[in-house]
Amino acid sequence: MHDAGKVIIGLAIFVLLITFPIWFTLASGKAGHRPELELPKNETQCVESKEYMKAWHMDLLNDWRDAAVRDGKRMYVAEDGKKYVMSLSLTCLKCHTNKAKFCDECHNYVGVVPYCWDCHVDPKGD
């Protein structure tokens, strides 16, 4: 092999970079970490179904923001006919009282930084 030293160093750097997720996660020791949500104690039903909320809550919140702030509409009729006030602070955060133990769990896990809290005060629980 010609220029063996350079080629092997180059290959080693490449393999090290490509396997970054493996050794980084191994070093942090958090490979088994899973988000654990603290669910509201006084309520079992969210505005919409759990599956819908899991996938689409960001769109729902975005629609609520547009409807409330831009169109002045504040009443939301859910799929099951129940009516809710379109408000993050008054409706969502009434049950989900702790951002760190609910929102942040999944958001931090998958690296999502929503800009809700640019304006809203984040609830820190009781």
Partner 1 sequence: MNAVLSLVAVLALVGLAVLGVEAGGLYSLFGVIVPYIAIVLFLGGLIFRVLGWAKSPVPFRIPTTCGQQKSLPWIKSSKYDNPHTGFGVLVRMALEILFFRSLFRNTKTQIAEGDKVTYGPTKWLWMGAIAFHYSFLVIFIRHLRFFTEPIPFFVDLLQTVDGFMQVGVPVFYMTSLIFFGALGYLLLRRLAIPQVRYISLVNDYFPLFLLLGIATTGILLRHFVKTDVVGIKELTLGLLSFQPAITEGIHWLFYVHLFLVCTLLAYFPFSKLMHLIGVFMSPTRNLANNSRMVRHINPWNAPVKVHTYEEYEDDFRDKMVAAGLPVDKQPEPKPAQAEKE
Choose which of 9, 20, 45, 120 interacts with partner 1 (CB under 8 A): 20
Q: Is 75 in the site for partner 1 (CB under 8 A)?
A: no
Shorter beta-carbon distance to partner 1: residue 4 or 121: 4
Q: Cβ 11 to partner 1, closest distance in Å? A: 6
Are 54 and 25 a contacting pair, CB within 8 Å? no
| Cα–Cα separations (whole angstroms), residue 91 to 95, 109, 111 | 7, 25, 25
Q: Cβ 67 to partner 1, closest distance in Å? A: 14
| Cα–Cα separations (whole angstroms), residue 67 to 25, 62, 100 | 42, 9, 27
Are 95 and 123 a contacting pair, CB within 8 Å? no
Q: Cβ 126 to partner 1, closest distance in Å? A: 26
Shorter beta-carbon distance to partner 1: residue 81 or 111: 111
Structure tokens at 42: 């006084």
Torsion over CA: 73, 77, 83, 88 (sign): negative
Shorter beta-carbon distance to partner 1: residue 59 or 122: 59
Q: Which residues bind partner 1 (CB under 8 A)?
A: 1-4, 7, 10-11, 14-15, 18, 20-22, 24-26, 28, 30-35, 54-56, 58-59, 61-62, 106, 108-115
